[in-house]
């Protein structure tokens, strides 16, 4: 287990270093291109909840995609850490104050409505062509997805990353949650296969 965790940590550090080295202007352009590409390929029912995230450091800026989905009628929500092991998803509405929601992110305040996302745009540090992901190491999304599954909900999961974050093989365990779709600047892929690119 110790070697397993060390391998994941090494892959995480290397993938994030590659992401950090991307030109900031290029990252913005790539994020906008990803939103343009994916907005027409991701269908949402009016009123359905879509979780995104406010970008931190060199992450893909998923806000343009979130706002494009909102124009289709989606209700947006952002994660908030409520204790050391749990995230909830608070509704993001125009004009609402954004506050520190933990782990270097910001989002709606505690009085915002809580939503259970039907579509989750999932941040990640690294991924492989099988849909296995490496998060940032705290396990928040794994637990949130498991909690939704335990409630009988099966949200559509789309990992968000740049191509440079792909690795040959993510060490995995039987209980790991697979992300069936990954959106990068190359398009929307499902288990390593192009989807509607």
- Which tokens is 38 given? 């994916």
Query: According to the annotation, is 147 in a ligand binding site?
Result: no
135 is in an annotated binding site: yes
What's the confidence (pLDDT) of residue 1?
63
As beta bridge partners, residue 158 has 121, 181
> What's the domain count of the chain?
1
Neighbours of 191 (CB within 10 A): 15
Boundaries of domain holding 54: 2-195
**Residue 184 assigned ligand-binding role:** no
pTM (2 decimals)?
Answer: 0.92
141 annotated as a binding-site residue: yes
Q: Is 134 annotated as a binding residue?
A: yes
**The predicted structure's pLDDT at residue 196:** 43
Annotated binding residue at 8? yes
139 marked as part of a ligand binding site = yes
CA Rg value for the chain: 16
Residue with tokens 């989807």: 195
Q: How many residues does the chain have?
A: 197
Does 192 carry a binding-site annotation? no
Give me the DSSP letters along the chain: -HHHHHHHHHHHHHHHHHHHTS-HHHHHHHHHHHHHHHHTT----TT-EEE-----TT----HHHHHHHHHTTPEEEEEEE-SSS-EEEEE--TTPPEEEEETTEEEE-TTSPB---SEEEEE-SEE-TTS-EE-SSS-HHHHHHHHHHHTT---EEEEE--GGGB-S-----TTPPP-SEEEETTEEEETTEEE--
Distance from C-alpha of 46 to C-alpha of 63, rounded to nearest angstrom:
18
Which of 8, 2, 48, 42 is closest to 142 using CA atoms? 8
- pLDDT for position 82: 86
CATH number at residue 119: 3.40.50.10420
What tens-digit pLDDT sequence spans the chain (197 residues)?
677 788 999 999 999 999 999 999 999 999 999 999 999 899 999 999 999 999 989 999 999 999 999 999 999 999 998 887 789 999 999 888 888 887 777 889 899 999 999 999 999 999 999 999 999 888 889 899 999 999 999 999 999 999 999 999 999 877 778 899 999 999 999 864 444 44
Which pLDDT does position 197 carry in this prediction? 43
Ligand-binding annotation for 137, yes or no, is yes
CA angle (145 as vertex; 160, 82 as ends), nearest 5 = 95
Is 10 marked as a binding-site residue?
A: yes
């Amino acid at each position: 287990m110790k070697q397993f965790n060390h391998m994941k940590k090494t892959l995480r550090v290397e993938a994030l270093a590659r992401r950090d080295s991307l030109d900031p202007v290029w990252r913005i352009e790539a994020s906008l291109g990803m939103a343009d590409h994916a907005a027409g390929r991701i269908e949402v029912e009016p009123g359905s909840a879509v979780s995104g995230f406010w970008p931190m450091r060199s992450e893909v800026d998923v806000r343009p995609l979130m706002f494009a989905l909102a124009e289709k009628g989606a209700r947006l929500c952002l994660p908030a850490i409520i204790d050391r092991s749990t995230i909830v998803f608070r509704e993001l509405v125009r004009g609402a104050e954004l506050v520190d929601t933990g782990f270097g992110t910001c989002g709606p305040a505690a009085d915002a409505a809580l939503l259970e996302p039907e579509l989750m745009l999932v941040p990640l540090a690294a991924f492989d062509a099988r849909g296995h992901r490496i998060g940032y190491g705290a396990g928040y999304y794994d637990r949130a997805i498991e909690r939704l599954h335990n409630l009988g909900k099966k949200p559509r999961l789309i990992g968000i990353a740049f191509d440079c974050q792909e690795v040959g093989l993510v060490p995995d365990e039987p209980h790991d949650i697979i992300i069936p779709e990954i959106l990068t600047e190359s398009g929307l892929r499902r288990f390593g296969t192009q989807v509607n690119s």
